[in-house]
Copies of this chain bind each other. A is one copy, B any other.
Amino acid sequence: MTKQGVTVEERRKPRDAVDQILDQWHKERPDLDLSAMGVFGRLGQLSLLLTPALEEVFTRHGLRRGEFDVLAALRRSGPPYTLIPSALAKTLMLSRAGMTNRLDRLEADGLVERRLDPTDRRSFHVALTARGHRVVDAAVTDHAANESRLLSALTPDERETLDHALRTLLQAIE
């Protein structure tokens, strides 16, 4: 069934799951303009496949992805490794309520602590603890290596091209 109707032209590049979806749509709704659907389909599929591939590394360090993101934002902000919850929520594109939750978990694990902000009594500083610092340093090392591994099948040229294309799209959408 699957080999039927595969023309010579279609055999050139391996057809993936997204191609099959586009074929189905073309057959059922030939009126639709499908020119963009392939890109978004592949983006979605990538995001779905990448999630567990990245999560696995965080799990090895006792973290969930969301928790790593918070620790990483603090770590890369530089000394004194401190940000306020609103700033964290904004950069991580998370609701403030969600940030409250994440911070509760991280604080219970002893990875961050809430310190009074002397200049604004509505807020406070979220600071990496010594242990949080160690954990995120170890995790980000593995994470960067894992990302490199996942991209290792692409040539440097292909990587550069992909990065440039993603940058263009990101700029177009914002």
Contacts and interface: CB of A to CB of B under 8 A. Distances in A.
Interface string A50-92: 1001100000000000000000000111100000000000000
A21 B165 contact: no
B170 A39 contact: no
Q: Oligomeric state, in number of copies?
A: 2
Interface in A9-29: 13-14, 16, 18, 21, 24-25, 27-29
A38 interface: yes
Interface residues of A, number: 62
Contact of A144 (B16, B36, B75): B36
Interface in A130-174: 137, 140-141, 144-145, 147-148, 150-154, 158-159, 161-163, 165-174
A6 interface: no
A152 to B, nearest CB: 8
Contacts of A47: 43-44, 47
A37 interface: yes
A37 B163 CA distance: 10
Contact of A162 (B27, B34, B39): B39
